[in-house]
Structure 1
Amino acid sequence: MYYFLNQYIKAFNSSVEHVEFHRLALFKHERLHAKIVTRDFDTMEYLNAANFGLKQDDILNMYDYFQGTTDVKEKQTSTKGLNIPISYQLKYDSDVSKAYQGGRLAQTIHHTPSRVGEISSVEHYDEFGNIANRELWDSRGFHSASQFLDYDGAPHAEILYHLDGTRALERFWEVTDDRKGKVIFNIHLINYKGNDYYFNSEEELFTFFLDEINTQDKDETTFIADRPGVADIPLVNMKTKAKKYLFFPILHAANPEDLINSPLEPSYEEVFKHLDKLDGLITMTDAQARQLRIRLKRQKGKGRNIKITSIPGVAFSNKQLKEPQVPMANRPGNKVLYVGRLGADKGVDNLIRAFALVTPQVPDATLDIRGFGDQEFVKSLEDLIQQLNLQNNVTISGYTPEIQPVYDSAKVFASAAHQDAFPLAMAEALAHGLPLVAFDTNFGPGEIIKDKVNGFLLEPGDLYGYSQTIISLLTKNTVLQRTSENSYLDSKNYSYPKVWKKWKNVLLSKSNTK
């Protein structure tokens, strides 16, 4: 069995999750048993995962495992099953229904998004109008947990149930030292295999969980830690023997300008002390692999000679690679596309500034920005669009799960990131024949883009040159079509057979750990 270790699957996902989606499809194509393993308790996880084509059996959640709900037949829920007292007056709404006792609000019933009338949670109010406790329902149709809330509406205690209503776990929170939030300080695993267990954190429970699922498999198990700071330490703390790999979805150093000597990215500081407990490191680019080898050769202690392998974060099926090509002449308008997280390190603000130099020469050019990010930063982008008078040319369209048709509607893929371990969307854009424009920064652009062949690499910060490149592509049909055809051709570098060959070399090697 192959387990890809993560924290969650959300409605809006980062490249960490999307890399796992690609990898899972590849492993399933090779008829290998693989699952995405998630740590966090989330009643919406399976509904979110289904929106990305994942089935219940593709995921193994830690809390589901201990609740005995990993294989549940879905059923519909409704207010009829809540046993609301007959004396309450119920007012229905599509998102939130309310139950009143006389003039007092007694319950609010939150409905599952996209599922009319189904139950997501029920909040119960005390006589003073405060939420006293909250009942949580899993999107698959069962009562999953009860939360007991403080005055601020945050839980201080929680009970998680088995399907028969008996207690599976209890969780307790305490206020942090800076009094700005709460953290879990105790988890009680109840009558698990005849014993009770207590843990001081989710990290400890996650380690216990990994050991438990490891002992279930008769054959050798392989774990790949994908989420930095969440999956890596539980992996190295496991007591049972398995093959263990650390995957790098981000840069390993805090300073992208000095990847060898600068301090480590904080998420990696602790796990780098335990490299001897891992079978290998996996990066998504050859450049990052080289930098890591140099860095580790300079450090003392165990793990300095650990095997480091580069494997791309995408993989395209033969079916996808054989999809009919969309000629540039058949793509209406002059749409430039950005797909990715909206953060300062992604340089989306500079992309907008560069686009302000494009529109005077290509008035009908549009920039479609797809992704999610911190609300404050997104607001700053919206303000910038207003300041540059680009309201008719630049749109922040938000996160789009079904992104394939959007790629096919664009003419250019643009990225202005200051740093990136591997720009996943850029590689995906190749498979849709998009010419690529990006700054030549660490790490991915230089390995995905062949300058002047399938796209163009610019010196970091050269906004004028960047804008002129986009103008050239949008106004020179011959160049646009030629680079598009080369993008389609180069997407074959990420075919299932080629990417699987790299994985096969890693997975079939002997374990170095005990």
Structure 2
Amino acid sequence: MLLFLNDNLQRNQSGIEHAQIKRLNLFKKFNQPAKIVTRQYSNELHLVVEAAGIKDQDFINLFDYFQNACLVPHRIVKLQDLHLNPKWKRKADGISYNYYDGKTRVMYVRRRNDRDRSIINLQYFDHFGKLLKVVWYDNRGFASVEQLYDWNGQIAVENYLRPDGQLALQKVNFKDRRQQKATSYHLFNWRGQDWQFANFDELTRFFYDQLAVDPALNSDGPLGLVVDRVYELGWAVLNMHHRVFRVMQLHNDHVNNPNDMLHSTLNYNYQWGLDHLKDWDGIIALTPQQQADVQARFGKQGVKIYRIPGPIVADEVLAAPHVDFAKRQRDLVVMVARLSPEKQQDHLLQAWPKILQQVPDAQLELWGYANDNFDQKLKAQVSAEQIENSVTFCGYTTDVNAVYERAQLLILPSRAEGLPLSLVEAQSHGLPIVANDIKYGPADVVIDQRDGLLTENGDIDGLAQAIISLLTNQTRLAEFSAHAYQDSARYSAANVMKLWNELLDDMPKEVAD
């Protein structure tokens, strides 16, 4: 079984999370055992998991695991289930309630804005009005964690509870001898013992060690770990006490200067992992070019470098009817990516006035959530260039396929990538592409002059002219669309699974000691 390790799973998912989910579905299709594993806590985690199309049995979270709550029957906890003091007076606050003992507020009950009005948390107050404790309810219907506050209003202790109410894990926040913030963790009655951990990484390492020897996970053979967030999780994996097969997944350019692959400083997301390269059993690069570049720089260390793309085109997508190009919205251009400096939406906006001069009816939609308020900079740029009537910030969507099937052209002017999921997804829905020819990915998806155009990074005029040349030649654009449908088959499930099989064949056959 392969475990795909991530730090967290949130509602707004990056390309890494989307790639993990596609990979999980690929393994399920070919009856290969696999699960996604995360370590961060959220009382609504399983709402996110469900929305992502992941079944609980295909997912393990650190807190769920130690709380004995990986698979819990869902129940709805409502107001009447709390059995509050009938003498308390209740005052509505929207769909939630404040409770008073005389004139003193003693509790606030926060409810979820859904059909059932289920309980999110209970907030307890002392007679001075200070917050004492918050009890959070897992969305599956049990009190999951209680947070105890100090006199300064800071969380001092977090007690994570099992569904039967027993204490599973305690997190203590304190200041060390240098008055720096620190945490410790105490795991109670786990396999008949109590355990103490100095920090979250040590707890994570212990978690992975428990998975490595868990009989329920080793019934089909030994575990292998694919680490999708090396910066966050690499230390815990490489310091496990049980030796398991472990590979590091590169999701992006591994260096900071793609013009000097042999000597450039390393991308901080991968630096720690690459600095400890000999401790890995393999590295997964997304493209042949990245595989060759990693081999050229690190090959002498003897670690195998696999090439496995992250994007996967499902069979049902390949078999779906093609959108009649005439029914696409004329001159609609889209970009689907995080709003972030490395994606260079600002370059596209800089080119946009030039495009409007030749294609006055062109519309640009920017899809994706923002990093570090970069959207504010982009919106200011739109205002300064007076292009508000033709540019729309659409935010994050869970139905990106509808975007691809409505537009005529996708743009990706990034300065660095891995193998952009949006390019393969868009191509599989017949959307022609204009993308910068950078490391890595665009040239592995876009066949220049056949299903899209490759442009030079930083060439704003060239980017504008490429877009204009396609929007003003609808016949050529329709031909590119037809070719895009055909060319996306390179990333079919069967083709990608062949590459994973090479890695699976290299895994040891014995369970970890």
> TM > 0.5 between the two?
yes
Please give the per-residue CA displacement for 1:215-254, whole angstroms capped at 9, x wherever unaligned.
1214121110001212222111122232211101122223
The CA deviation at 1:42 is 1.2
Contact 2:197 2:203 in 1 (8 A): yes
What is the match of residue 46 of structure 1? 46
What is the match of residue 9 of structure 1? 9
The CA deviation at 1:150 is 4.1
Q: Given residue 313 of structure 2, which amino acid in structure 1 is its aligned partner?
A: F
Moved more, 470-479 or 189-198: 470-479
| Residue 490 (structure 1) aligned with residue 492 (structure 2) | no
Q: 2: CA distance between counterparts of 1:220 and 1:352? A: 50
* Cα distance change of structure 1 residues 83 and 189 upon mapping to structure 2, 3 Å threshold: same
What is the match of residue 280 of structure 1? 282
Moved more, 252-261 or 37-46: 252-261
The CA deviation at 1:166 is 0.7
Q: 2: CA distance between counterparts of 1:101 and 1:473? A: 70
Contact 2:410 2:426 in 1 (8 A): yes
* Cα distance change of structure 1 residues 153 and 334 upon mapping to structure 2, 3 Å threshold: farther
Which residue of the other structure, out of 186, 189, 197, is the alignment partner of 1:188?
186
* Cα distance change of structure 1 residues 95 and 506 upon mapping to structure 2, 3 Å threshold: farther
Moved more, 449-458 or 375-384: 375-384
The CA deviation at 1:255 is 3.1
Moved more, 460-469 or 127-136: 127-136
Contact 1:279 1:512 in 2 (8 A): no
Q: 1: CA distance between counterparts of 2:430 and 2:177? A: 52
What is the match of residue 158 of structure 2? 158
Q: Given residue 236 of structure 2, which amino acid in structure 1 is its aligned partner?
A: P
Moved more, 406-415 or 123-132: 123-132
Q: Aligned with 1:230: secondary structure?
A: helix
Which residue of the other structure, out of 366, 370, 375, is the alignment partner of 1:369?
366
Please give the per-residue CA displacement for 1:314-347, whole angstroms capped at 9, x wherever unaligned.
1122111111100221112322111111111110
The CA deviation at 1:175 is 5.2
Q: How does 1:198-209 map to 2 (within 5 A)?
A: 198-209=196-207
* Cα distance change of structure 1 residues 104 and 350 upon mapping to structure 2, 3 Å threshold: farther
What is the match of residue 265 of structure 1? 267
Q: Aligned with 2:231: secondary structure?
A: coil
Which residue of the other structure, out of 217, 241, 244, is the alignment partner of 1:242?
244
What is the match of residue 174 of structure 1? 174
What is the match of residue 257 of structure 2? 255
What is the match of residue 393 of structure 1? 390
Contact 2:278 2:302 in 1 (8 A): no
What is the match of residue 459 of structure 2? 462
Q: Given residue 498 of structure 2, which amino acid in structure 1 is its aligned partner?
A: K
Which residue of the other structure, out of 202, 214, 228, is the alignment partner of 1:226?
228
Please give the per-residue CA displacement for 1:424-482, whole angstroms capped at 9, x wherever unaligned.
11111111111011111111112111111111111111111211221222221111111
Q: Given residue 38 of structure 2, which amino acid in structure 1 is its aligned partner?
A: T
The CA deviation at 1:422 is 1.6
Contact 2:343 2:416 in 1 (8 A): yes
The CA deviation at 1:265 is 2.1
Contact 2:435 2:455 in 1 (8 A): yes
Q: 2: CA distance between counterparts of 1:283 and 1:411? A: 31
Q: 1: CA distance between counterparts of 2:152 and 2:15? A: 33
Q: 1: CA distance between counterparts of 2:11 and 2:178? A: 30
The percentage of aligned residue pairs carrying the same residue is 31
Normalised by the length of structure 1, the TM-score is 0.93
What is the match of residue 84 of structure 1? 84
Q: Given residue 110 of structure 1, which amino acid in structure 2 is its aligned partner?
A: R
What is the match of residue 301 of structure 1? none
What is the match of residue 99 of structure 1? 99
Q: Given residue 280 of structure 2, which amino acid in structure 1 is its aligned partner?
A: L
Q: How does 1:20-31 map to 2 (within 5 A)?
A: 20-31=20-31
Q: 2: CA distance between counterparts of 1:152 and 1:373? A: 33
Contact 1:160 1:169 in 2 (8 A): yes
Q: How big is the alpha-carbon RMSD for the aligned residues of Structure 1 and Structure 2?
A: 2.2
Q: Aligned with 2:229: secondary structure?
A: coil
The CA deviation at 1:153 is 4.7
Q: 2: CA distance between counterparts of 1:177 and 1:327? A: 68
Q: How does 1:103-114 map to 2 (within 5 A)?
A: 103-112=103-112, 114=114
Q: Aligned with 1:508: secondary structure?
A: helix
The CA deviation at 1:374 is 2.8
Q: Given residue 231 of structure 2, which amino acid in structure 1 is its aligned partner?
A: G
The CA deviation at 1:381 is 1.3
What is the match of residue 347 of structure 1? 344
Contact 2:78 2:116 in 1 (8 A): no
* Cα distance change of structure 1 residues 152 and 427 upon mapping to structure 2, 3 Å threshold: farther
Please give the per-residue CA displacement for 1:290-316, whole angstroms capped at 9, x wherever unaligned.
111111146xxxxx1111011111112
Q: 1: CA distance between counterparts of 2:91 and 2:469? A: 59
Q: Aligned with 2:356: secondary structure?
A: coil
The CA deviation at 1:96 is 4.2
What is the match of residue 126 of structure 1? 126
Q: Aligned with 2:334: secondary structure?
A: strand
Q: 2: CA distance between counterparts of 1:165 and 1:453? A: 62
Q: 2: CA distance between counterparts of 1:451 and 1:483? A: 10
What is the match of residue 380 of structure 1? 377
Normalised by the length of structure 2, the TM-score is 0.94
Q: 2: CA distance between counterparts of 1:115 and 1:248? A: 42
Moved more, 102-111 or 79-88: 102-111
The CA deviation at 1:131 is 2.1
Contact 1:413 1:436 in 2 (8 A): yes
Contact 2:224 2:507 in 1 (8 A): no
| Residue 69 (structure 1) aligned with residue 66 (structure 2) | no
Q: Aligned with 1:487: secondary structure?
A: helix
Contact 1:349 1:384 in 2 (8 A): yes
| Residue 420 (structure 1) aligned with residue 393 (structure 2) | no
The CA deviation at 1:489 is 0.8
Q: 2: CA distance between counterparts of 1:178 and 1:253? A: 35
| Residue 406 (structure 1) aligned with residue 408 (structure 2) | no
Q: Aligned with 2:355: secondary structure?
A: coil
The CA deviation at 1:14 is 1.0
Q: Unpaired runs of 5+ in structure 2?
A: none
Moved more, 408-417 or 105-114: 105-114
